[in-house]
Structure 1
């Protein structure tokens, strides 16, 4: 199963963006989508160019080269978003991410006996200090990461003391939490929050410590840092219902019994067509629960001072509220994949620069979500109250008139000539991008204006 590989603050941040990003990393997007949303073209091109630029920034040292190469393999979008961070903080976040990926890989490998797995999880924070330690498990790139973990340990030992202490502390606490939930199902809402804290909230705490250790930010409160993780974590758990339910060899679900048992007898019943009404009501209940963390996230983001750190934190949160808006009242969560349009993902990454952009995006997505609330839904009043609280926070910021809405807008009508011109431009640019020589020619122009998401 893939539970913890997806479900954490850094990993959840990436997972929300990765599914949309990876597909257009391989292909710029369908022509139909581009023609339907012409404003997406420029952000998509900028992100494509920024990704290629990031791949060229691999350090020459063997251990650091391994770490950044592995980062690109296990998550291209995360490798992209950290490039704007200053070198020391970028290195620390890179290693933090790889250590947690490795911890995930151990926890995730169902072939490892529990009596072997639990001690490794509990002692993983000590293994990062051992240049010789490795443990063969996982598959594909994750197996390479585990087999050659000594490169990660070597790089870890070169970090500043404050960075190492923060990574060790969070790894220790997360490993213990993972061990606790290996044999435990999520029954109550309290246990749901506890599980999300271990695999996501703790990473929010760890990132806050790394930001503070860099000297660029004040140390955020544990409560706010925890909410940053829980908002992302719960969003992933909601949208991944079907994938987690169909996991082989055995599903492992994280929707709390206390919520879903109000609607069906078994959690798997939500995916059956005859239970569609109850399934959507349960889904809306879960989304309403996740919304309780949104205001804390806005408070956390508003306190950040460094532009690169701000964008690093803000973009995943906007992706989360956008994903919740799409999932709410949407039976497709139980039928297939619900995700933000590729071009909108690129526009979020391209357009998120200031706190006014964040307030604007949250405001627009919450309005979208509110328009979908059915007064007959058993949680309609609670959902509206939580949305109104978020909307009020955005309005009270006084910044909504400072941004251009890229989420909710009147659809522009393009005539036939405009569409033909867009088609020609797209064809020419794609031809350019397919040529290494031509990429080098136009790369200077694009990269000179690119602000890599952070």
Structure 2
């Protein structure tokens, strides 16, 4: 019923949803037939469906390199996340992981569900990695080594300060941005971006995930490590877990807004990075997740539901972002629209209101100075139905039949 209600309220998202469904089915048909590549792309769908979709839009060589890069780092992350592994065992594995990706016989079982499958059959990923061009291998090895060392460092310490928060996010995400820039360069399709811009691309995504996933992470059993910096949350509560309790709702929202404001500091760098990209498929690969991030932050800001359940963009809006993100004018338009939504939620009595508004104004200034805002279509639409409900239901049923037909092929 929730999906039907969303369609009724946003009928303009019907067509993008259908296009996304068709594109996803077509992407599945491109999966290579060799067992190791088949495993890699099938696993990619299981560990991150959204990233799998944008990765599969890339040209073949770069697509394979990015897919393997993602799976290698996902495997590394699985080791870091498994709280059942003693630190004296975990740290050496993290520090040596960049060497294990050259050894099809290396094996270490950990993680749960699909992540356990990934680790148990990591030899497929290694086999695929060994088939990549040397330039791709060097980039993946370098980033894996640096990330493993950074993860090992933070296994042994908590995130206390904002500087440490940035450092941790650099190791687990900023390095991903740097690695992707190196892969784009190795493909000869892009120039090598400045490290600071590549880092910001990763930090913006990572901080959005950390903010959005508060409740899931704090409630995880066994207890997950949390990465909200004490320097921020201690201004509002005595313990980080206190944010989820109803009696602390005011403080929780203020802390949340502080975290969102911190994440917004990376937006201008992200816009600079994306504006320099030349190859359309690489641009879409980079731009879609960034728009999803600013959209997610706009939804999370001043929203107590972050501490009560799941806050995320509805599927139809996600489909619209994927469908409409083709040029830099689309990106500027999306960032402007979502920043307007965020601005409308800022309350004067919030302790960080001035800082938040200043950061929003800086984002909007960058978008306005691009000179292309009048060329974009809005991502933020009214919550009121704009079409006759009976007609929308009929169209929805027809689309459901079409999707079922396509799925059965």
Is 1:432 aligned with 2:402? yes
Q: Which residue of structure 2 lines up, in the alignment, with residue 326 of structure 1?
A: 299
**C-alpha distance in 1, partners of 2:134/2:30?**
25
Q: Which residue of structure 2 lines up, in the alignment, with residue 188 of structure 1?
A: 161
Is 1:72 aligned with 2:58? no
Is 1:171 aligned with 2:144? yes
Is 1:372 aligned with 2:350? no
Question: Does structure 2 conserve the Cα–Cα contact (< 8 Å) formed by 1:432 and 1:439?
Answer: no
Question: Does structure 1 conserve the Cα–Cα contact (< 8 Å) formed by 2:18 and 2:403?
Answer: no
Name segments (4+ residues, structure 1) moved above 4 Å: 408-412
Question: Does structure 1 conserve the Cα–Cα contact (< 8 Å) formed by 2:10 and 2:386?
Answer: no
| Counterparts of residues 389-404 of structure 1 (less than 5 Å) | 389-404=362-377
**C-alpha distance in 1, partners of 2:395/2:11?**
11
Equivalent in 95, 100, 104 of residue 122 of structure 1? 95
**Displacement, 1:289?**
0.6
**Displacement, 1:408?**
4.2
**C-alpha distance in 1, partners of 2:378/2:271?**
18
Question: Does structure 2 conserve the Cα–Cα contact (< 8 Å) formed by 1:54 and 1:79?
Answer: no
Structure 2: 5+ residue runs without aligned partners?
Answer: none
Equivalent in 277, 292, 298 of residue 271 of structure 2? 298
SS in 1 for 2:331: helix
Q: Which moved more, 1:271-280 or 1:350-359?
A: 271-280
Q: Rate the CA distance shift 1:398–1:411 in 2: closer, same or farther, 3 A.
A: farther
Structure 1: 5+ residue runs without aligned partners?
Answer: 1-26, 441-454
**Displacement, 1:410?**
8.6
Question: Does structure 2 conserve the Cα–Cα contact (< 8 Å) formed by 1:63 and 1:154?
Answer: yes
**C-alpha distance in 1, partners of 2:270/2:40?**
30
**Displacement, 1:401?**
0.4
SS in 1 for 2:110: coil
Equivalent in 76, 86, 91 of residue 64 of structure 2? 91
Summarize deviations over 1:131-172 as a string: whole Å, max 9, x none.
211212222222222122111111111111110000000000
Is 1:156 aligned with 2:129? yes
SS in 2 for 1:135: coil
Q: Which residue of structure 2 lines up, in the alignment, with residue 52 of structure 1?
A: 25
**Displacement, 1:67?**
1.3
Is 1:212 aligned with 2:212? no
Q: Which residue of structure 2 lines up, in the alignment, with residue 269 of structure 1?
A: 242
**C-alpha distance in 2, partners of 1:304/1:202?**
18
Question: Does structure 1 conserve the Cα–Cα contact (< 8 Å) formed by 2:79 and 2:90?
Answer: yes
User: What RMSD over aligned residues (CA atoms) do the two structures have, in Å?
Assistant: 1.6
Q: Which residue of structure 1 lines up, in the alignment, with residue 83 of structure 2?
A: 110
Q: Which residue of structure 1 lines up, in the alignment, with residue 393 of structure 2?
A: 423
**C-alpha distance in 2, partners of 1:352/1:46?**
13
**Displacement, 1:412?**
5.8
**C-alpha distance in 1, partners of 2:177/2:403?**
37
Q: Which moved more, 1:272-281 or 1:192-201?
A: 272-281
Q: Which residue of structure 2 lines up, in the alignment, with residue 229 of structure 1?
A: 202
**C-alpha distance in 2, partners of 1:411/1:359?**
25
Is 1:198 aligned with 2:149? no
**Displacement, 1:329?**
0.9
Summarize deviations over 1:8-35 as a string: whole Å, max 9, x none.
xxxxxxxxxxxxxxxxxxx9x6222111
Q: Which residue of structure 2 lines up, in the alignment, with residue 448 of structure 1?
A: none
**Displacement, 1:348?**
0.7
